[in-house]
Structure 1
Amino acid sequence: MIEPFKDIQDARALAQAIVDTVREPLLVLDGDLRVLAVSRSFYLTFRVQHQDVLGRPLYALGDGQWHIPALRSLLENIIRERTSMDAFEVEHEFPRIGRRIMLLNARAVFYADHSHTTLLLAFEDVTERRIIEREKEELLRQTEELLRQKDVLLQEMEHRVANSLQIIASILMIKARTVTSEETRLHLHDAHQRVMAVAAVQQHLHAAESFDQIEIGPYLTRLCESLAASMIGDSRPISLQVLVNGGTAQSAKAVSLGLIVTELVINALKHAFPKDRPDGQVIVSYQIDGLDWKLVVSDNGAGKPDGIATPTRGGLGTTLVKALAQDLDATVEVVSGSGGVNVSLTHTSSTSRQRQTV
Structure 2
Amino acid sequence: MQQFDNLADAQTLALAIVDTLPEPFVVLDQELLVLAASRCFYEYFSEDAAQTHGRPFFELGGGQWDIPALRRLVATILSERTSMESIEVEDDFRHLGRRTMLLDARLVRYEDSSSPTILIAFRDITARRAVEREKQELLEHTERLLDEQQTLLHEMRHRIANSLQIIASILLLKAGAVGSEETRLELRDAHKRVMSVAEVQSHLNDVDGIDRIDVAAYLTKLSAGLAASMIGPHHGIEIHVEAGEGTLPSSDAVSLGLIVTELVINALKYAFPTARAGARITVALEFDGSGWKLSVADNGSGRAAAPPSASSGLGTAIVAALAKQLKAQIREVSSGSGLRVEVTHATFSSHVPLAA
Taking structure 1 as the reference length, the TM-score comes to: 0.91
Could you say which residue in structure 1 is the equivalent of 2:294? 295
- Contact 1:24–1:123 (CA under 8 A) maintained in structure 2: yes
CA deviation profile, 1:30-78 (whole Å, cap 9, x unmatched): 1122211111101111112235533232322334343334432332332
Supply the distance in 1 between the matched residues of 2:121 and 2:77 (Cα, whole angstroms). 14
Moved more, 295-304 or 67-76: 67-76
Alignment-derived partner of residue 4 in structure 2: 4
Mapping for residues 22-61 of structure 1, pairs under 5 Å: 22-50=21-49, 52-61=51-60
Q: Secondary structure at the match of 1:116?
A: strand
Q: Partner of 1:181 in structure 2? A: 180
Q: CA deviation at 1:322?
A: 0.9
Deviation at 1:292, TM superposition (A): 3.0
Task: Provide, for residues 167-210 of structure 1, a one-character-per-residue CA deviation record: whole Å limited to 9, x for no partner.
Answer: 11111111112111111111111100000000001110121123
Shift of 1:279: 1.7
- CA-to-aligned-CA distance 1:326-356 (integer Å, 9 cap, x gap): 1222110112233221101112428899xxx
140-149 or 72-81, larger mean C-alpha shift:
72-81
Matched residue count: 349
Give the secondary structure class of the aligned counterpart of 2:276: coil
Between 1:70-79 and 1:14-23, the stretch displaced more is 70-79
Secondary structure in 2 aligned to 1:62? helix
The Cα of 1:7 is off from its aligned counterpart by: 5.4
The 1:15/1:171 distance shift into structure 2, 3 A limit, reads same
Write the distance in 2 (CA, Å) between the matches of 1:91 and 1:71. Answer: 10
CA distance in 2, matches of 1:3, 1:276: 107
Aligned residue in 2 for 1:96 = 95
Corresponding position of 1:251:
250
Aligned pairs for 1:126-137 within 5 A: 126-137=125-136
Other-structure match for 2:347: 349
1:351/1:192 Cα in 2 relative to 1: closer, same or farther (>3 Å)?
Answer: closer
Superposition deviation, residue 271 in structure 1: 1.9
Instruction: Indicate the residue corresponding to 1:196 in structure 2.
Output: 195
Q: Structure 1 pair 157/63, CA: closer, same or farther in 2 (3 Å)?
A: farther
| Percentage of pairs with the same residue | 53
Unaligned runs of 5+ in 2: 352-356
Which sits farther off after the overlay, 68-77 or 219-228? 68-77
Correspondence 1:330 to 2:328: yes
Query: Residue 24 of structure 2 contacts residue 39 of structure 2 at CA under 8 Å; is this kept in 1?
Result: yes
Question: For residues 306 and 209 of structure 1, do their structure 2 counterparts lie closer, same or farther at Cα, with a shift above 3 Å needed?
Answer: same
Secondary structure of 1:294's partner? strand
In the alignment, the residues of structure 2 paired with residue 281 and residue 46 of structure 1 have an alpha-carbon distance, to the nearest angstrom, of 85
Q: Secondary structure at the match of 1:152?
A: helix
CA contact (8 A) 1:330 1:347 kept: yes
Would the alpha carbon gap of residues 163 and 2 (structure 1) be closer, same or farther in structure 2, given more than 3 Å must change?
closer
What are the within-5 Å matches in structure 2 for residues 302-317 of structure 1?
302-305=301-304, 314-317=312-315
What's the C-alpha RMSD, in Å, of the aligned pairs?
A: 2.4
Cα distance in 2 between the residues matched to 1:351 and 1:130 = 53
What corresponds to 1:81 in structure 2? 80
Deviation at 1:109, TM superposition (A): 1.4
Q: Which residue of 1 aligns with 2:354?
A: none
The answer to whether the 8 Å contact 2:271/2:305 transfers is no
Residue 265 of structure 1 contacts residue 297 of structure 1 at CA under 8 Å; is this kept in 2? yes
Equivalent pair of 2:288/2:349 in contact (CA under 8 Å):
no
Change (3 A) 1:11 1:203: same
Q: Return 298-307 or 276-285, whichever deviates more.
A: 298-307
Residue 236 of structure 1: aligned partner: 235
The structure-2 alpha-carbon separation of the partners of 1:183 and 1:52, relative to structure 1 and needing over 3 Å to count, comes to farther
1:258, CA displacement in angstroms?
Answer: 0.7
- Structure 1 gap ranges (5+): 354-358
Q: What is the TM-score of this pair, normalised by structure 2? A: 0.91
Contact 2:291 2:349 in 1 (8 A): no
Q: Aligned partners of 2:64, 2:162: CA distance in 1, in Å?
A: 64
Do the aligned partners of residues 176 and 105 (structure 1) sit closer, same or farther apart at CA in structure 2, a change above 3 Å counting?
same
Cα distance, 1:283 vs structure 2: 0.5
Task: Tell me the distance in 2 between the aligned counterparts of 1:279 and 1:352.
Answer: 29
Q: State how far apart, in whole Å, the 1-side matches of 2:304 and 2:315 are.
A: 21
| Pair 1:217-2:216 in alignment | yes
Structure 2 CA distance for aligned equivalents of residues 18 and 312 of structure 1: 92
Deviations 1:132-174 (A, max 9, x none): 1111111111111111111111111111111111111111111
Structure 2: how far apart are the matches of 1:85 and 1:94?
A: 22
Question: Structure 2 matches for 1:112-123, cutoff 5 A?
Answer: 112-123=111-122
Secondary structure of the corresponding residue to residue 22 of structure 1: coil
Matched residue type, 1:4: F
* 1:221 Cα offset (Å): 0.1
Larger CA deviation: 35-44 vs 232-241:
232-241
Change (3 A) 1:120 1:96: same
Counterpart-to-counterpart distance in 2, 1:316 and 1:344: 18
Matched residue SS, 1:42: helix
Q: Which runs of 4+ in 1 moved over 6 A?
A: 350-353
